[in-house]
Structure 1
Amino acid sequence: MTEPQTDKTGAVVHIALDETRAISAYTVTLDDGTLAGRADFIDPPEGEGEGERVFFHTEVSPEFGGRGLAGLLLREALADSVRRNVTVVPVCPLFAKHLKEHGEEYTARGGRFRKPRPADLALVKKTTEEQA
């Protein structure tokens, strides 16, 4: 878990990495433990993109919208990807847009990313169907 952060309202939130399922996520919770959102990703299996992280869905519960939580999730996920030395594959539109606009800044901080390939989309489809 990262150090507590504050959202746009000044409320304390916590971002944590949850790798307990086939679909992992960075989660954002309120100070009282209420889950407010998540950025879902898949680490491809060995031999199919080792050292990569496919971000495919980011969601914040509607009642917490407008507080900047998706941005906090995105920034922590990208910062942690730099720390872990993994390449980001942005299937999620939020991640794709951010990296399109700020990719040079991200790579200047040591980050790596690449455009999604058909195999990445197939992996997301297969994994999400298996979890349904």
Structure 2
Amino acid sequence: MTESPSAVPAVQRVDERQRYEILVDGRRAGLTAYRDRGEQRVFFHTEIDDAFAGRGLASELVGRALADVRASGKRIVPVCPYVAKYLKKHGEFADITDPVTPDVLQWLDGERR
């Protein structure tokens, strides 16, 4: 059964799994994963299920996740290439974006083990 393209996607933060998920008709269509490092939210992976590709869901997911980061008073570190690309097109998050540094990458590698 094909999902309705008119279905309004919902984005939710799932703290226990350290990710944001985008749901279409109650079904998880994708996610963007993060780890918190003090006041930084380090995004390292974004994916959309093939069944939901081509609908702009990744952009909606990341945009709403970054808006949540702003609302929570944290800063963004875009290790994930998709999040980095999104930020280049959406300058409204520049004031809360920190660079990806070797220190952050080393820390993230340790967190993901």
Q: Give the TM-score, by structure 1 length.
A: 0.76
Cα deviation for residue 41 of structure 1 reads 0.4
1:53-81 deviation digits (Å, cap 9, x = unpaired)? 00010000111100111011111011111
Cα deviation for residue 100 of structure 1 reads 2.3
Equivalenced residue count is: 110
User: Any unmatched runs of 5+ in structure 2?
Assistant: none
Q: Could you tell me which residue of structure 2 aligns to residue 120 of structure 1? A: 104
Cα RMSD (Å) of the superposition?
A: 1.7
Identical columns (%): 37
> For the residues of structure 2 that align with 1:100 and 1:115, how far apart are their CA atoms?
12
**How is 1:1-132 mapped onto 2 (pairs within 5 angstroms)?**
9-21=5-17, 24-31=18-25, 33-44=26-37, 50-103=38-91, 105-107=92-94, 111-129=95-113
Cα deviation for residue 120 of structure 1 reads 1.5
User: Any unmatched runs of 5+ in structure 1?
Assistant: 1-7, 45-49
Q: Which amino acid aligns with 2:36?
A: D
> For the residues of structure 2 that align with 1:128 and 1:40, how far apart are their CA atoms?
11
Q: Give the TM-score, by structure 2 length.
A: 0.88
